[in-house]
Amino acid sequence: MTWSNRFVGIPYKELGRTRSGADCWGLACVVYREELGISLPEYLGSYASTEEHGEISALIDGGALSPLWVPVTGAAVAFDIAVFRRGRMSTHVGIVIRHGLMIHMQDEDCAKLANYRSGAWGNRLRGHWRHVSMAVERPVQIVSEVRR
């Protein structure tokens, strides 16, 4: 069983940031908090609806310039954030399980696994980003492994 299986099925909830419901960024917040012990910025109040594509794209583009995130130049690894465009704007994120496979919010349904190197996501990938704490030379201790 992989860490991602614990998050499959979390229901979609606009602006949700918990296991009881999340949007795509909310899912990243839950995964990072529970698996890595990292609190990501929640951006609540920065957009009122997931339909506000311009605001979401601006947040994602701004996040790419933040010192919290480092662009990934090689293959993506577990817990990297994959950024996708819908139309011309970056408006969706997934959490990498391994290069080419992610967990993300599938539309307004629930958290699901998806191959992002082909199919619906294959031509929408904008890039991968790694949290700065995972980009340093010392490995991050995964919280869920400590619980075992």
| pLDDT one digit per residue (tens) for the chain, 148 residues | 689 999 999 999 999 999 999 999 999 999 999 999 999 998 888 877 888 889 898 988 888 888 999 999 999 999 999 999 988 899 999 999 999 999 999 888 999 999 999 988 989 999 999 999 998 644 444 444 444 3
pLDDT of residue 138: 40
- Phi and psi dihedrals of 128, rounded to 5? -115, 150
What is the pLDDT at residue 91?
93
- 133 contacts 69 by C-beta, under 8 angstroms: no
Position 148 scores a pLDDT of 38
Instruction: Give rounded-to-5 percent helix, strand, coil for the chain.
Output: 30, 30, 40
Euclidean distance between CA atoms 40 and 59, whole angstroms: 13
Angle made by CA atoms 77, 80, 82, in degrees to the nearest 5: 115
Domains contained in the chain, CATH given: 3-147 (3.90.1720.10)
> Which two tokens mark 113?
């696994």
The pLDDT assigned to 86 comes to 86
